[in-house]
Chains A and B, each alone.
Chain A
Amino acid sequence: MALLSLKNISVAYGKNVVLKNLNLDVEKGELVSLLGPSGCGKTTTLRLIGGFVEAKNGRFVFNGKDYTKIPVHKRNFGFVFQNYALFPHLTVFDNVAFGLKQRNIPKNEIKKRVMEILETVGLKDYADRSPRELSGGQKQRVALARALVIQPDLLLLDEPLSNLDAKLRVKMRLEIRKIQQEYNITAIYVTHDQEECFSISDRVAVMNNGVIEQLDTPQKIYNLPRTEFVANFVGFENFIELELEAKERGGGGFYKLKNGQRFKVTHFNGREYERYVKGAIRPEEIDILNEGGGKETNTLKGIIGISTFLGKHYQYVVETEVGRLLVNGSAHKRYEKGERVTLYFPEDKIVLV
């Protein structure tokens, strides 16, 4: 059984329903990220788990117990806030010791554990400083140490790195991941940075509009999105409407496009067959051939439109009979505007959504 389960959770601010029948299961020791556009409800989900927001409907079960109504301070969850929320009137040491003092742990034991965790986050020499005298990255480490030292049953992080510069972000995310695995802590991590999210997570929950659209490993989210929203979010720019013509053994099929053209698609992301679907494909997976080249299936005729140079390649807007597509081509050859080409869509690169 999962360590943490959100069961049909709904949350509303006044009339504004922010989470809609949300379900989420997290296993022990896992780091699960909540990823999604601004306003989709990531923070709200995290705050609900932390106990700062009340559910209108649904249940939150943790470790087999109903936590829905347990107050924040009895949950023993560590929280790392976006703005750190260190206590400015206390030293680094006292900030970290705060949760331990609250638990009536003997003084020398507190000292030992605080120094140990400060060592882990590389701040052993900063114990006597005031938070004011720390850089952003150091503050974030103190916040992390403060949340970890209480040996939380769950670690909740809300965009913990968003106030740091790009380089430090990469360094800190590796550290967070290392510590999380070292201590075998179950963690939920909110971010809207895709790379950060993929690099740090065991599983990713892509959220949209108050629901989780897909919960999967980073690889699956990236390669096999299950919905149009997720596909779009991870960079599938092209969506082509398809109608099922014939199933194939082994999980594939032939599909008809709006203009009568046929596409063969093999790469199923575990979907049931449906008559009307969309085929999603990344710009870099479409091949540009000279006009008339290629096979009969999985091709479309097109006319090159605007092109932009992206360093590794050119990106073209190509007009086709089924609409405008974005296609990347080699940086060595630039197609001219108005040139007629044939586009080839490899059957294993099309993802049905």
Chain B
Amino acid sequence: MDFTFIIDKLPVFALGAVMTIELTVLSIIFGSILGLIAALAKISKKKPLVYAASFYTWIIRGTPLLVQLYFIYYGLPKVGIELDPFPAAVIGMSICGGAYITEIIRAGIESIDKGQMEAARSLGMSYLQAMRRVIIPQALRRMLPPMGNEFIALLKDSSLVSTIAMVELMRTATQINAATFKSIEAFFAAGVFYLFLTTIFTVIFNRLEHKLSIN
């Protein structure tokens, strides 16, 4: 293996990695917002909300992310919605991540004793206030481990957006491979970068878990 070649290309890989992080972090943020809304809809007892949220998670979790990305990037222009690769990638990954996060948040909230909500309500909180101040802080602790897994999965799945012309880590590797035919070096380096990023996420989550379990 040609290590000097890899070191030579490090700045290019680093640029790709920054894009991967950007995509992942944005998708996590939007996906969590989406997931929270859908989770609240699912646990509300209002039938239309429950059906809408269940429909969403059913479709998204039942189809591959790649299909969803192609649908958004190649399909939507046919009905006049043209998106650049970056917004298309963020939208696709957020919608997909959101569906899985929905289930994580729902399970977390439902794991909290019903008495907590009732106690908060009887002390003068509206449903949403009680969710925000009492239920979600407690649920957060239980949601953290599966959330960490989901974030790492999303980070790795972000490699799929290389197929819709997003130049991130994976696409950087394929481009270098195409130009130099140094396949081993190109994909080995990409792999190392992914491993590095997922390790950082794991460490951050472990720290967070540790901190929350102390409080």
Contacts and interface: CB of A to CB of B under 8 A. Distances in A.
A155 to B, nearest CB: 11
Interface of A: 50-52, 71-79, 81, 83-89, 98-99, 102-103, 146-147, 150
Contacts of B126: 71, 73
A146 B119 CA distance: 10
B122 A72 contact: yes
Contact of B123 (A83, A84, A98): A98
A73 B215 contact: no
B144 to A, nearest CB: 14
13 contacts: A50-B118, A51-B121, A52-B118, A71-B126, A72-B121, A77-B122, A79-B118, A84-B115, A85-B115, A85-B119, A87-B138, A102-B124, A146-B119
Interface residues of B, number: 17
B113 A89 contact: no
B103 to A, nearest CB: 23
A99 B124 contact: yes
Contacts of B122: 50, 72-73, 75, 77-79, 147
B113 A83 contact: yes
A85 B113 contact: yes
Interface of B: 113, 115-116, 118-126, 129, 134, 137-138, 215
B75 to A, nearest CB: 44
A88 B138 contact: yes
A86 B119 CA distance: 8
B123 A85 contact: no
A296 B58 CA distance: 82
Nearest to A77: B122
A73 B126 CA distance: 6
A64 B49 CA distance: 36
A73 B113 CA distance: 18
Nearest to B122: A79
A51 B115 CA distance: 14
Contact of A85 (B116, B124, B215): B116
A85 B113 CA distance: 8
A87 B116 CA distance: 7
Nearest to B121: A72
B118 A87 contact: no
